Structures are given as C-alpha cells and as structure tokens.
Amino acid sequence: MNHNIEERLKQHYAEAGISRKVYEFGMKIETDLKERFETIDQIAEYNQLKVVHAMQKARVNTECFQYASGYGYNDFGRDTLEKVYAYIFHTEDALVRPQITCGTHALALALAANLRPGDEMISVAGKPYDTLEEVIGIRKSKGSLKEYGISYRQVDLLADGSFDFETIEKTVRPDTKLVTIQRSKGYQTRPSFSVEQIGEVIRFMKERFPDVICMVDNCYGEFVELQEPSDVGADLVVGSLIKNPGGGLAPIGGYIAGRKDLIENCAYRLTSPGLGKEVGASLGVMKDFYQGLFLAPTVVKGAVKGAIFAAGIYEKLGFSVIPSMKEERHDIIQAVEFGTAEGVIRFCQGIQAAAPVDSYVTPEPWAMPGYDSDVIMAAGAFVQGSSIELSADAPIKPPYAVYFQGGLTWEHAKFGILMTLQKLTEAGVVTIE
Ligand SMILES: *Cc1c(COP(=O)(O)O)cnc(C)c1O
C-alpha cells in the first residue's frame, strides 16, 4: 500500500468520525479477507462478461433507451431488454417491466398467472417470505390465491436447513401444479441455498413429477454465483429490480425469466388476456434498466464483500453471525445477532450515519403494519426502499438480530460497517482493545 495515501485515508476516516482503533480493527479483518475477496472479484468478472455478452448478442443500441408512451406497441427497448434477460438466465423468454412494481408483485404475478382454481402449490423450502403469506393466503387477505381456490401446502426444511426429499415426495399430489423454492433466507435464520442445492431439488422433482412447475424466488441471489437457478432446471426465476439486477439504478421493476408458455401466462395476467407482452410502455426507464443491469455484477460484488466484512468483524467480537465469515455466499444478506435492543439500534444508527442521503436523521424503533414488534430500519437510499443500497433492519425482539445488506460500492459498504462498529463502541456495547 502507498503510505502517503494510507495516511491520508486514515486522516479522512478520522474526520468522518471513525476512530483509529475502529479503523485498525477493520483493516486487520480486511487483510484476512484478501484471498476471499479475490474469488468474489472473479465471480464479478465472470458475470460482467455474461451481461455484456448478452447485450451484444441482443444487439443493444441507443434506440433501446428511447422514451415509449401510450400502449407501448413496438417498444423496442423493452422487447430487447427482455431478450437480454433471457440470454443471461438462459431461458426461452423473460418479462422485465416497470409495471411489475416490486419483488412481491413479480412473485404474485408468476403464481397467479400459472395457477388455476383447484390447483395446489407447495413451498418445498419451508415458510416463504413474509409478504407472500398474504399473496398465498396463509394470512388472510383480499384477492389471495386461496380466495381463488388455489391451495397451499408447505414442506419444512430439515433441522440442518436442507431439503426434506422424503416428505416432498409424499406431499406432491396429482393436483400439485407448482413448487416454489426461495433461494435467500430472507429474514429467517436458516442458511440460504446455493444454486447447486436448488438444482438437486429441481432434479428430484423433474425425475418424479416432470409436469410440476419449479419456480425460484431469486431475490437477493442474482450474480452472487456463476450460475442462476434457471441454469439448473428452474422453469421460472423471479426477482426485484430494486435489488441485485437493477444495479442500484433501476427506479422500480421486477423480472420473471423462464419457459415461454409460462412467461406468456405472466404477460397475459400482467396486462390482459390477448394483449400480453405487446403492451406496457417503458416510460423512459430503459436506460436505467440497461445501465443498472450492466453494473449489477460489480454492485453485487461490493455488497457481498460488505456482508463478508461485517461477518468478519462481528464474528471476531464474539457475536453469532449468519452466514459466518468463511461460509460460501448465495445471497447478499448478512445477519448479526446482538442479543440486545441496544446492539441492533446502534448498528442501524451507524448504517444511517454513513448514508449519502438522509445521513443526519437518527432511526428509531417504531411500530409497523404487518409486524408483531417494533422495527428499526436504516436506509439512506437514492431509490426509496432499495435494498441493493446499504440498508439494515431489525425487529426489536429476541434474538435481537439485525439483517443488513447492500452497498452500491465496496468502499461505501466498508465505511458503513466501520460506522456501525464506531456507534457500538461509543455506546459501550462492544469494546475493542
Ligand atoms: C425482498 C424479497 C421479496 C419481496 O420483494 P419486495 O420487492 O420487497 O416486494 C421476496 N422474497 C425474498 C426472498 C426477498 O428477499
């Protein structure tokens, strides 16, 4: 390292409120991670090539970024972007739209479009993400799949977090139309699945029940590994553009990539029977969708490094972290268990204090609709609620775990994590010698 730059850097961190002790503690962890980070760089390099190659193959040109309004017939940018996604995910087709408002909407759409009254869906990865409970009707809601006569069953994971193949085989019935698999742990404490593990359960399903649709909730997983669930047989992969694949630039949106007939069902459901993919103007967001996708592999790289760095710091300080510093990564989420309300609150305040936007506000725990305890959330994002940007949240209840993710650059993620440690040491929650 250039010593002059290093000195200037230390000085700058000090001016930003990071003490010498905190900085040096972080530097030790970072040094330990050098080799690990090289692997993360290589994954990003691979995925960068994958994305560029897909854009070249689809012959992306400046016309793709033009504003389209009204019905959006012949919206060239939109149609070409859907080809790019299909090339990246190696699927027959894709639906990538600003009219898909978020990840929950994309998942609800994929389900509602491909299930009919009397059909059954099964989650083979245990309880799905919270917001899906109302989509499915596990929790009562207007317009749930349950109201439309679509039933749901769930196969819980085994105690070690792996798939329960035996029970899956016994649970599938003739009316089972679709199984869903959530790649990321979301806000649970089970491990996230690797694409390889997802491939095993899909292979298991396809050998026994070839007609059952295998759908993967890919939220937070895109570009973390070399392959995506569609590379190991998923019929549908679904995600949000204000997470990984939007690269921080997409201001809204969701995607569904998969088998042509299933994507057509999604398009008919999103717009209207008969109209499908033909309508839905892109309203000027295309340049951000393309550029965000182009940046996504390196943005995800920064977020993954940030997650590992946080794991390293808090593991070293004796806290329980999921995943651990050494574990392979399958998504960008990091959980840290502080065991006290004070711990999670200070952590979130550190993330907020390091944000480029709204850094001067102090997040406090608050009652939120849909939660059974107070929740604290830290985000200073360019795009509201974007969780590819550095963000953290924690329910104020045992085990007092904070879930943290994102960072558009590694440098910013690092600063944010150092700031959490700063806040925790100032509050006396942790001591570094
Ligand atoms: C974020 C997320 C969702 C829902 O996405 P929203 O954009 O918040 O609606 C669904 N599943 C998983 C695993 C997620 O991480």
Q: What would the pLDDT profile of 398-412 be if each residue is shown by its tens digit?
A: 999 999 999 999 999
d(CA 134, CA 312): 36
- Please tell me if the CB atom of residue 383 comes closer than 6 angstroms to any atom of ligand 1: no
Whether residue 125 is found in the same domain as residue 232: yes
Q: Ligand 1 pocket, 186 CB below 6 A?
A: yes
CA of 219 to the centre of ligand 1 (A): 6
- DSSP state, 354? T
Note whether residue 109 is domain-resident: yes
Domain co-membership, 278 together with 194 = yes
State the DSSP code for 431: -
Check which CATH number belongs to the domain holding 417 and give it.
Answer: 3.90.1150.60
Are 277 and 302 found together in one domain?
A: no
Cα-to-chain-centroid distance, residue 278: 28
Q: Within a domain: residue 58?
A: no
Top mutation candidate among 130, 187, 243, 391 for ligand 1, by most atoms within 8 Å of CB:
243
What pLDDT is stored for residue 354 in this prediction? 97
pLDDT given for residue 188 in this prediction: 82
* pLDDT computed for residue 74 by the predictor: 93
Long-range contacts of 295-298 (CB under 8 A, 24+ apart): 295/247, 295/248, 295/249, 296/47, 296/51, 296/222, 296/223, 296/244, 296/245, 296/246, 296/247, 297/43, 297/44, 297/45, 297/47, 297/48, 297/50, 297/51, 297/223, 298/44, 298/48
Q: Which among 207, 142, 210, 194 is positioned nearest to 331, based on CA atoms?
A: 194
DSSP 8-class letter at 158:
P
Burial zone of 202 (CB within 10 Å; 0-12 exposed, 13-18 middle, 19+ buried) = buried
Q: Are 240 and 104 part of one and the same domain?
A: yes
Give kind and range of the element (H or E) at residue 320.
strand 320-322
- In a domain, residue 419? The reply is yes
Question: Does residue 101 fall inside a structural domain?
Answer: yes
Q: List all residues 6 or more positions away from 355 whose beta carbon is below 8 Å from its beta carbon.
A: 378, 379, 380, 381, 390, 416
Ligand 1 and 220: CB distance under 6 A: yes
* C-alpha closest to that of 137 among 129, 146, 128: 146
Mutate to test the pocket of ligand 1, among 97, 104, 388 (most ligand atoms within 8 A of CB): 104
Count how many Cα atoms sit within 13 Å of the Cα of residue 378 in the half-sphere of its side chain: 32
Look up the domain containing 10 and give its range: 3-46+294-426
Which tokens hold the place of 148?
């439309």
Q: Which tokens is 128 given?
A: 């799905």
Does residue 87 sit in the same domain as residue 34?
no
Total of domains in the chain:
2
Residue whose structure tokens are 């849909």 = 370
10 within domain boundaries:
yes
pLDDT of residue 204: 98
In a domain, 117, yes or no: yes
Position in ligand 1 atom list of the atom nearest CA 220: 15
pLDDT at 370: 64
- CATH number of the domain that 151 lies in? 3.40.640.10
Cβ(129) to ligand 1 under 6 A?
yes
Strands 401-405 and 374-379: unpaired
Domain-located, residue 74: yes
Residues of the chain with pLDDT under 50: none
Whether residues 278 and 302 fall in one domain: no
Strand partners, 152: 121
pLDDT of residue 64: 98
Taking alpha carbons only, the member of 176, 171, 180, 168 closest to residue 111 is 180
Contact predicate 124/201, CB 8 Å: yes
Q: What is the CA radius of gyration of the chain?
A: 22
- Do 249 and 384 fall within a single domain? no
Q: How far is CA 91 from the centre of its chain?
A: 20
Q: How far, in Å, from the CA of 103 to the mean position of ligand 1?
A: 5
Statement to judge: residues 126 and 241 lie in one domain:
yes
